[in-house]
Amino acid sequence: MTKVTMTVNGKAVSGDVEGRTLLSSFLREDQGLTGTHVGCDTSQCGACVVHVDGAAVKACTMLAAEADGANVDTIEGQSNADGSLNVIQQAFQDHHGLQCGFCTPGMVMSAAALLKDNPKPSETEVREYLEGNICRCTGYHNIVKAIMAASGQDVTAIAAE
Amino acid sequence: MYNFEVEKPGTLAEATAAMAGEDAQALGGGQTLIPTLKQRLASPAKLVSLSGVAEMQGISKDGDALRIGGATTHGAVAADGNYPALSALAAQIGDPAVRNRGTIGGSLANNDPAACYPAAALGSGATIITTNREIAADDYFQGMFDTALDEGEIVTAVSFPIPQAANYQKFVQPASRFALVGVFLAKYADGIRVAVTGASNEGVFRWAEAEAALGDDFSASALDGLSVPADNMISDLHGPAAYRAHLVKVMTGRAVTAAG
């Protein structure tokens, strides 16, 4: 076992992990942060996307030991300080950007990473950025719409086909 | 996954020492290796994580060449822009989260027959710089998942001569988004290079006939009389050998047109 220490959602945490412990397992099982979902465990679906030192990564495809010393942000740290939904989360609610909700944490984390680098993405850019986030309810139109709305753009023209 | 130890060296010297251990395996970004370990297709005793090795990070112009550290992510190469065709290629690998972890050194060390970077390295006549030596791309790729790397040898950097013009055309396998066929074409003062990934059972290869034809006439029509033998092409549920052979020519033509 190796001791790892990292900052998760602004709080210093530590734990003993095996070499093979995935970051997703550490967050979910050691830290109890089960908002990071594991959908496929094969790096395809993106439900486990978190930010490591500001970059979106798939937590099921990174070792916890590799996140030692890093700043990790998960869906649990996304809400505003008063506990209300942040702009992206609120937009997902307003535009019905989820159906079953399983992929939503990864979608929100990917959206946050996109908007940080590209505050006013085009619809095409949003769709391209979400290539590694799969919604098996196929609710993509409203997810894209929600992200466009969260970026402050007018979404009335984007039809929910 | 079977369990293993993880070492996180901070310098190349420490990484080399760590790799000398029994059953040690270098870990780049892990975007291929971790899924492989999950399937228990590999069982190293120790993973040597290269992400903290400072000497292996970053991109720098070195005269007419672009030197990219082995631990540089696809995302960083995509954002660089000093070699536009290479950046465009990197931007098509995996998805944004995968590009934030996957590294050029990891990709080249693995030499997946459908990976994109081998086409860029071979198509650019790049030099693979390792802990022991410098290897010309023409000598480096030795077949599917096989390279000139020795046990414990690490790809520390890759040096790409920047061409006059270049383009990468990737025909995406719709499920995996790997290249069903990918063609990297680069035009240098001393000739044209055409490297093909995804197609052959031998892994990445150069299409010499196309290089010669395009050297005389740099236009897609220069390829009209050529054909690629299907003999050694990959045949699977995504496409038979003849289809891949055909795609090599089609994608090469598109690359010529796009490179201008």
Confirm or reject contact between B25 and chain A (CB < 8 A).
no
B101 has a chain A CB within 8 A of its CB: yes
Rounded to the nearest integer, the mean pLDDT of chain B is 97
Contacts of A46 in chain B (CB under 8 A): 95, 97
- At B260 the pLDDT is 83
Averaged pLDDT, B143-158: 97
Q: Please name every residue paired with B179 in a beta bridge, in sequence order, or none if there are none.
A: B172
For residue B205, the model assigns a pLDDT of 98
Residue B176's pLDDT band, with cuts at 50, 70 and 90, is confident
Q: Which of B2, B31, B47 sits opposite A61 (nearest CB)?
A: B31
Name every chain A residue with its beta carbon within 8 A of the beta carbon of B47: 19, 63
Q: What is the ipTM of this complex?
A: 0.95
Could you give the percent of chain B with pLDDT greater than 90? 97
Neighbours of B243 (CB within 10 A): 17
On whether both B102 and B150 belong to a single domain, the answer is yes
Distance CA B215, CA B78 (A): 28
For the stretch B56-74, pLDDT in tens is 999 999 899 999 999 999 9
Closest chain A residue by Cα to residue B1: A20
Residues of B numbered 217-256 whose beta carbons fall under 8 angstroms of chain A's beta carbons: which are they? none
Q: What is the pLDDT of residue A159?
A: 60
Query: A114 contacts in B (CB within 8 Å)?
Result: 96
Q: By the 8 A CB rule, do A140 and A123 touch?
A: no
> What is the domain range of residue B9?
5-49
Boundary of a domain, candidates B161, B187, B208: B161
Cα B111 to Cα B144: distance, rounded to the nearest angstrom: 7
Percent of chain B with pLDDT over 70: 100
Q: Are residues A73 and A93 in the same domain?
A: no
If one counts the domains in chain A, the total is: 2
Task: Report d(CA A150, CA A91) in Å as an integer.
Answer: 6
Q: With contacts defined as CB-CB under 8 Å, which chain A residues touch B177?
A: 131
Q: What local confidence, expressed as pLDDT, does residue B75 receive?
A: 98
Domain that holds residue A145: 87-150
Q: What is the average pLDDT across B45-50?
A: 97
| B102 pLDDT higher than 70 | yes
Q: What is the distance, to the nearest Å, from the Cα of residue A66 to the centroid of all Cα atoms in its chain?
A: 19
pLDDT of residue A157: 73
pLDDT by residue for chain A (161 residues), tens only, comes to 899 999 999 999 999 999 999 999 999 999 999 999 999 999 999 999 999 999 999 999 999 999 999 999 999 999 999 999 999 999 999 999 999 999 999 999 999 999 999 999 999 999 999 999 999 998 899 999 999 999 999 998 766 55
Residues B111 and B126 grouped into a single domain: yes
Name the domain count of chain B: 3
Supply the CATH number for residue A67's domain: 3.10.20.30
Residue B199 has pLDDT above 60, yes or no: yes
